[in-house]
Amino acid sequence: MGLAATAIAMAAGFVLAGTGLRAQKADLASVLQQMDASAGKFQDVTANVKVDNYTAVVQDHEYQQGTTAFRRASGGMEMVTHLKTLDGKAYADLLYRNGELDYYNPVQKQETIIAAGANKQEYDSFLATGFGATGKELSAAWTVTLMGMESIDGVQTAKLDLVSKDARVRENFSHVQVWLDASRDISLKQVMVQPSGDSRTVTYSNVEYNTPVKSDLFKLDIPKGTPVQRR
């Protein structure tokens, strides 16, 4: 997994799926079936994001906010995320496309490009789990538990707890919780918990679903001459 998968998981947030399910009647099978019905409709999404990074050993929170976008493309899922600190300082820019994660740190003025290589399917799967994954794909990759139904910003969501069936993923995330709006195959919140007890909480707002995203959005504005490290 390493930095690339961790960064993808952070930015993507494992956006999944949930409305149309009545709280008192919801069960896991109905959530997965709704995902199957909605998966093929997903094309793209943009949203504002808020990130809460929690370090357990010192009980400290670090916050960022910004924007993110995902879209289906011929080469697979593409993702771009721009994060700033709460006081507006640039924090991180990430672009995933064609099996490469391009990460720009504006503070250190450093660009890092990570090639998925043989792990491209694994990285693409992280993004697909968030956008357009079917219920069958979700249950094939994760042990899924329905924790109940919750309303977020007036939207009925299914709260799912996910434990990866891949030991390599569990080395980075012991489990992931997502609040799913299945009618659009997106989530409004997720919490990724590491074995250390550290966690990353991402919430989404001002979501625009299936409104064509401009191509120039999927570019990073990196100053010329910036050092590049490839992995």
**Of the given ranges (34-48, 122-136, 203-217), which has the lowest mean pLDDT?**
122-136
Q: What is the mean pLDDT of residues 90-97?
A: 93
pLDDT of amino acid 134 = 87
3-state secondary structure of 4: helix
Higher pLDDT, 32 or 123: 32
Given a cut of 60, whether residue 226 has pLDDT beyond it is yes
DSSP single-letter state for residue 174 = S
pLDDT class of 123 with cuts at 50, 70, 90: confident
- Per-residue pLDDT at 213 exceeds 50: yes
Q: What backbone phi and psi angles, to 5 degrees, belong to 66?
A: 175, -150
Cross-sheet strand order for the sheet of 199-209: 142-152, 155-164, 175-181, 186-193, 199-209, 44-55, 60-73, 76-85, 90-97, 100-105, 110-115, 228-230
Q: Could you give the CA distance from residue 126 to residue 146 in angstroms, rounded to a whole number?
A: 20
Q: How confident is the model at residue 6 (pLDDT cuts 50, 70, 90)?
A: low
Average the pLDDT over each of 4-18, 57-71, 138-152, 159-173 and give the range with the smallest value: 4-18
Give the percent of the chain with pLDDT over 70.
87
pLDDT (0 to 100) of residue 4 = 46
Single-letter amino acid, residue 166: D
